[in-house]
Structure 1
Amino acid sequence: MWKKALVVAVLALAAGYLYHADPKLPDHLLEFVTRTLDVLQAPGDNPAIEETISAAWEVLIAAPARKWSRVAVGVNACVDVVVSGVGLLQALAADPGPGRDHDVLHSKEDLREAFTHFMGRGAAAERFYSDREDFQRIARAAAEYPGAQLYVGGNAALIGQKLATYPDLMVLLCGPVGPKLHELLDDQIVVPPASLQETDEFHLILEYKAGEQWGSARAPQANRFIFSHDVANGKMSLLETFVASLEEFQPDLVVLSGLHMMEGQGRELWEERLKEAVVAISDIPNEVPVHLELASMTDKDYMKSIMQEQVLPIVNSVGLNEQELLFLSQAGSGPHSQLASWNGVPDVGQVSDILLWVLEQYGRTDLESEADLTRVHFHTLAYHILATVDGHWTNQESAVAAGARVASTQACGVQHVDVSKVVLLAPRHFHSSHSEPRQSLALDPARPVATWHRGNVTFHLSPVLVCQQPLRTVGLGDAISAEGLLYSEVVRQQ
């Protein structure tokens, strides 16, 4: 311990000397020294930091003045079969080999390569399996694998299930609901009769743990690879049924997901269906805010169509993770779109640049704009950011902290943050932008939500206390978005 303390002291003195010797020292060198100090002063040396943040959250997080009472959620729903990814591949007699990404899976070999590719990066991904009969054989093997578990699946159903944990909230779920899914859903969830179907849609969730090995691939962090042959969700078949049910249900918030499921159905289908989706979403009354939950996509043309067909501008809020945010920028030639992927924890300044671009390009930052998008909820493993156009949302400091807190508790399978099971991985020092002019910011554990402004957009950042041995990662992003929405309050516009 004393050796590390000595190294920290020497580096700190060196940094001070270098800066005073040459105040114009390149930012990247000073940033390297700062980050090195952060790493050396790791949470393990000061376990109280997680406790300080957790306690600060409890004081900070407060319910909004006006809560939602009725939330309608649609339209992707299924049964998740959760199984060990390495274990299932071994049960399928697959041999380890090099990884390779595939936009669509056509065979067991494609599955093995894609799983290996993403496992080696510790990244989440979702793919469509084109062969129905082959998928059913794999699904049977997964369901019969020792330790396999069946859960509520699909972003809409998972968000609905999370919202239903609040007893004063009535939740409508519209999607392809089969017998098993109906059995798994919370009793508080209302399912329109038109949503019920005779068979379930199954999604296979191949999980892996941090440090787990498969051939030459070693997972840097726990995550999962999802695949399915899901036609009902793939065509968003229940979208019109969902919108039609809103008139009777009278929600004060609509949560929409499932657009990513259409990607694997082929260009001819999604081009036409996307236009129909825009018409359906436009039929939702203007006074009802709409949150769109994005998910993993690989087809840049499809993402461009989502932007060009005016999906983003006609929703009020969007939820996404680091891969989805970067892909959005790549498809729209936005900031930092030259990056092939994030290098470790996404740089806060770069994330901030892309979030601002999304709101300026597709949102209502301009008072003359007819767009509705005013809120983006970004989440990555180490931290979350809520970016909102001023004057449209309140209680966002509580909302981003609540989302970070639920990431800690749900991953560890506990009701309250257990500081012995989590670690702080968020940067302690960061910038409001990757380019000049930019503001230098620091994370204060006693006041763990950092706030900054760029034009008329406000950014709130909360660190995440990352679960060191997560029990389940599926649905974590959906829980984060749901919790963030529960603590958010929309400002009614005149």
Structure 2
Amino acid sequence: MWRKAAAAVLLALAVGFFYHSRPDVPEQVLQYLGLPDLKSFCQNQKDLEQTISAAWEALLTLPTRRWSRVAVGVNACVDVVVSGVGLLQALALDPGAGLDHDVLRSKEDLKEAFVHFMERGAAAERFFSNEEVFQSIARAAAEYPGAKLYVGGNAALISQKFASYPDLMVLLCGPVGPKLHEMLDEQIVVPPESLQETDEFHLILEYKAGEHWGSTRAPQANRFIFSHDVSNGEMSSLETFVASLDEFQPDLVVLSGLHMMEGQGRALWEDRLKEAVAALADIPKDVPVHLELASMTDRDYMNSILQEQVMPSVSSIGLNEQELLFLSQAGSGPHAGLHTWKGIPDVGRVSDILLWILEHHGRSDPSSESDLTRIHFHTLAYHVLATVDGYWTNQVAAVAAGARVASSQACGLHAVAVDKVELKAPQEFFSSHSEPRQQLTLNPAEPVSVWHRGNITFHMTPVLVCKHPLRTVGLGDAISAEGLVYSEFQFQQHF
């Protein structure tokens, strides 16, 4: 049935295109084929997106108990955003074959890694080990026509999103230089110990959907991030962050920046992860801790975060499709043999991995010592919130809020504009990749699909994808922050 429907849609588009380019084609031709005209087809699609957007608005009810003080740490910087292809051409680099590098050591490494991820349309972040070469690239980027400076770093970006709610007090700990301090929202409190004389700069190489460089074509818009950032790389603000919590007394803590340590070597990250876990242990159990993950390549490092170190000490995590699959690969979880996602990640496979994390590394079993009870997964076409029953409420609103901000912020707007977005999520999908599984259908009027697997509840909603995104950096941070604003934590004492 679905094959016939898909064929009909493709035929309608083809005839519609021909009709648009040849207005002399009689209307009877379309009627004979039993197809709507192009105008009707586009209007129906627009109505679908309008219905979803309106339904989100109806679902966005803030929780009964809202956060009043949120502490966020520990990575912060200034983002320099430029055209990736344009900058590499300005550096006199020629297009060629892509090749991933865990750590970048030269301009050639940068080019190869950029091409590798551009041809996949995937986001990635890498450490550039050569400071002198990095500084020369940074100067070229800052001078490149159209280069823009923004607040950067997961912690700073999450703080900015929280600060958009005037009744929410936000503490930010991280290496804050003069330029970054100037750009931060006035509502954000920065401890004096976090201020430093110079800024840390991260270079964001963006590319558009369909953009070409040599034989490489980007299937979707995304970005490649790199830096030589020692302050964030060593999580130098961790102690300041922890020391500030006693005085600030937050009711929600958000931790990010662990991925920055990966390029610093095993000896450093082993010690710092232990110190991070010890710091988390001092936070009262009735204060949830959200961990925002980011791109990583070292399986031992990710596995250490997953099993031995940080993840069992936090209540919630936020991550995208690359991070989710890599986490499963590192921990030998479901679908670990999948090298990479092909196109839009399969909802059933995503659901399997989320279930595995909460069952094997979370608190789905009440006797578990883990605190992890919530995962906010986001990919371009849809979002999924998975929670252990009894710990989180208002998650329908939370997942809808995350999708709405992804749709609007990517277009540089404060609200969803239905003429600037398109639905890319599957309208039929399964709750698991294997049996037993439930077949689900997207209802635009009720765009949050809900299913259960044991004592874990899944909330899924499509994203209305921006057709011409203005900026992709920081979307994951905005999604996680917005989802947390609409979430309510139900503390349960461990026995």
TM above 0.5, one fold?
A: yes
Aligned to 2:154: 155
Corresponding residue SS for 1:319: strand
Aligned to 2:29: none
Corresponding residue SS for 2:419: coil
1:378: Cα distance to partner? 0.2
Aligned to 1:457: 456
Cα distance in 2, alignment partners of residues 10 and 487 from structure 1? 39
Please tell me whether the aligned partners of residues 278 and 309 of structure 1 are also in contact (alpha carbons under 8 angstroms): no
Q: Does structure 1 residue 344 correspond to structure 2 residue 340?
A: no
Cα distance in 2, alignment partners of residues 286 and 176 from structure 1? 27
Cα distance in 1, alignment partners of residues 278 and 272 from structure 2? 10
Q: Which amino acid aligns with 1:207?
A: E
Aligned to 1:256: 255
Cα distance in 2, alignment partners of residues 432 and 312 from structure 1? 25
Aligned to 1:114: 113
1:8: Cα distance to partner? 2.7
Per-residue Cα deviation, 1:376-414 (whole angstroms, up to 9, x for no partner): 000000000000000000000000000000000000011
Per-residue Cα deviation, 1:113-158 (whole angstroms, up to 9, x for no partner): 1101111111000000000011011001100111100000000000
Please tell me whether the aligned partners of residues 43 and 50 of structure 1 are also in contact (alpha carbons under 8 angstroms): no
Q: Does structure 1 residue 96 correspond to structure 2 residue 130?
A: no
Cα distance in 2, alignment partners of residues 250 and 71 from structure 1? 9
Cα distance in 2, alignment partners of residues 88 and 6 from structure 1? 40
Cα distance in 2, alignment partners of residues 247 and 43 from structure 1? 56
Aligned pair in 2 of structure 1 residues 313, 10: CA closer, same or farther (>3 Å)? closer
Aligned to 2:34: none
Per-residue Cα deviation, 1:282-316 (whole angstroms, up to 9, x for no partner): 12221210000000000001111112323111100
1:280: Cα distance to partner? 1.4
Aligned to 1:133: 132
Q: Which amino acid aligns with 1:103?
A: D
Question: How does 1:45-444 map onto structure 2 within 5 Å?
Answer: 46-444=45-443
Aligned pair in 2 of structure 1 residues 382, 42: CA closer, same or farther (>3 Å)? farther
Aligned to 2:445: 446
Per-residue Cα deviation, 1:186-230 (whole angstroms, up to 9, x for no partner): 000000000001110000000000111111111111000000000
Cα distance in 1, alignment partners of residues 304 and 372 from structure 2? 17
Cα distance in 1, alignment partners of residues 110 and 45 from structure 2? 42
Q: Which amino acid aligns with 2:311?
A: L
Cα distance in 2, alignment partners of residues 390 and 262 from structure 1? 33
Ranges in structure 2 where 5+ consecutive residues have no aligned partner: 12-39
Question: How does 1:448-487 map onto structure 2 within 5 Å?
Answer: 448-487=447-486
Q: Does structure 1 residue 8 correspond to structure 2 residue 17?
A: no
Q: Which amino acid aligns with 1:90?
A: Q
Q: Which amino acid aligns with 1:249?
A: F
Corresponding residue SS for 1:46: helix
Cα distance in 2, alignment partners of residues 478 and 10 from structure 1? 36
Greater alpha carbon shift after TM alignment, 41-50 vs 360-369:
41-50
Q: Which amino acid aligns with 1:58?
A: E
Cα distance in 2, alignment partners of residues 113 and 10 from structure 1? 36
Aligned to 1:33: none
Greater alpha carbon shift after TM alignment, 266-275 vs 405-414:
266-275
TM-score by length of structure 2 reads 0.91
Please tell me whether the aligned partners of residues 43 and 424 of structure 1 are also in contact (alpha carbons under 8 angstroms): no
Please tell me whether the aligned partners of residues 449 and 460 of structure 2 are also in contact (alpha carbons under 8 angstroms): yes
Aligned pair in 2 of structure 1 residues 320, 5: CA closer, same or farther (>3 Å)? closer
Please tell me whether the aligned partners of residues 102 and 126 of structure 2 are also in contact (alpha carbons under 8 angstroms): yes
Per-residue Cα deviation, 1:305-328 (whole angstroms, up to 9, x for no partner): 112323111100000000000000
Aligned pair in 2 of structure 1 residues 375, 407: CA closer, same or farther (>3 Å)? same
Q: Which amino acid aligns with 2:81?
A: V
Q: Which amino acid aligns with 2:65?
A: R
1:46: Cα distance to partner? 2.5
Per-residue Cα deviation, 1:218-243 (whole angstroms, up to 9, x for no partner): 11110000000000100111111101
Cα distance in 2, alignment partners of residues 172 and 189 from structure 1? 6
Per-residue Cα deviation, 1:458-482 (whole angstroms, up to 9, x for no partner): 0000100000000000000000000
The alignment-based identity, stated in percent, is 77
Aligned pair in 2 of structure 1 residues 409, 179: CA closer, same or farther (>3 Å)? same
Corresponding residue SS for 1:254: strand
Aligned pair in 2 of structure 1 residues 112, 444: CA closer, same or farther (>3 Å)? same
Per-residue Cα deviation, 1:57-84 (whole angstroms, up to 9, x for no partner): 1111111111100000000000000000
Corresponding residue SS for 2:246: helix
Cα distance in 1, alignment partners of residues 381 and 463 from structure 2? 5
Please tell me whether the aligned partners of residues 307 and 361 of structure 2 are also in contact (alpha carbons under 8 angstroms): no
Per-residue Cα deviation, 1:10-60 (whole angstroms, up to 9, x for no partner): 99xxxxxxxxxxxxxxxxxxxxxxxxxxxxx98775221000000111111
Cα distance in 1, alignment partners of residues 487 and 304 from structure 2? 29
Aligned pair in 2 of structure 1 residues 43, 72: CA closer, same or farther (>3 Å)? farther
1:6: Cα distance to partner? 10
Structure 1 outlier segments of 4+, above 6 Å: 41-44
1:371: Cα distance to partner? 1.0
TM-score by length of structure 1 reads 0.92
Please tell me whether the aligned partners of residues 274 and 309 of structure 1 are also in contact (alpha carbons under 8 angstroms): no
RMSD between superposed Cα atoms in Å: 1.6
Cα distance in 1, alignment partners of residues 45 and 149 from structure 2? 39
Ranges in structure 1 where 5+ consecutive residues have no aligned partner: 12-40
Aligned pair in 2 of structure 1 residues 466, 290: CA closer, same or farther (>3 Å)? same
Q: Which amino acid aligns with 2:91?
A: L
Corresponding residue SS for 1:451: strand
Cα distance in 2, alignment partners of residues 8 and 107 from structure 1? 50
Cα distance in 2, alignment partners of residues 326 and 42 from structure 1? 36
Greater alpha carbon shift after TM alignment, 447-456 vs 211-220:
211-220
Please tell me whether the aligned partners of residues 164 and 170 of structure 1 are also in contact (alpha carbons under 8 angstroms): yes
Aligned to 1:34: none
